[in-house]
Amino acid sequence: MTDLQERFRQIKTFIFDIDGVLTNGDVHLLDTGEQYRTFDIKDSYAIERALQAGFRVGIVSVANSEGIRRWLNVLKVKDVFMGGPSDQKLNAYLGYLTRDSLNETEVLYMGDDLPDYPILSRPKVLKACPTDAVEEIKAICDYVSVKPAGRGAVREVIEHVLKAQSKWPVT
C-alpha cells in the first residue's frame, strides 16, 4: 500500500471549494443579472455516496448564491461556509475544524487557486486539486486529479477514498 492510499484510509471529512473544483469556474450571466454555474452529476453522486457512508462533507467557498445553497441542501450537505472575502477562507476552515472538533489529519481539502493556498499549505490536511488547478496549487498538493474541475475531479477523489476504506458500492 502506498503512502497516499494510507492517507486515503484515514479520511473522515471532505471539504471542497465551489468555483474551480465543483464547477469548471465559469460563471454564466443572464440578462437579468442572475448568475448560474454548472455542476457534474457524477460529482453530486459521489458526494451523496460519501454522506451515506458516514463521511462529513463541507464546503468552504467565496461563492455565495442561493441556487448553490439549494443544490447543496438537496445533496444534504449541511456544513456550508460560503461568502465573504477570499482571504477569509482559512478562518472559515479553522472555524469548521474547531466547531466540530475535527482532526486535521482526517480531512481532505480540494481547492484550485491561490485563495485555497493558506488551507492547502497546512501540513496535516490531505491536499487535493483538479488537473486544471493553478500551478502553485498543483505544486503543493498530495493528489492531483486526472479530471478537470467540474468534470469529475470530486468524484475521482471521493471514489479513491471510499475504495481505500472498502466503502464504495462496487470495488
Residue numbers in the known binding site for substrate are: 19
* Separation between Cα atoms, residue 112 and residue 130, nearest integer Å: 7
List the binding residues.
17, 19, 112
- State the binding site for Mg(2+): 17, 112
- H-helix segments, the chain: 3-10, 41-52, 66-74, 89-99, 117-120, 135-140, 153-164
> Is residue 67 a contact partner of residue 32, using CB atoms and an 8 Å limit?
no
Distance, CA of 161 to chain centre: 13
Closest CA to 103 of 1, 15, 2, 168: 15
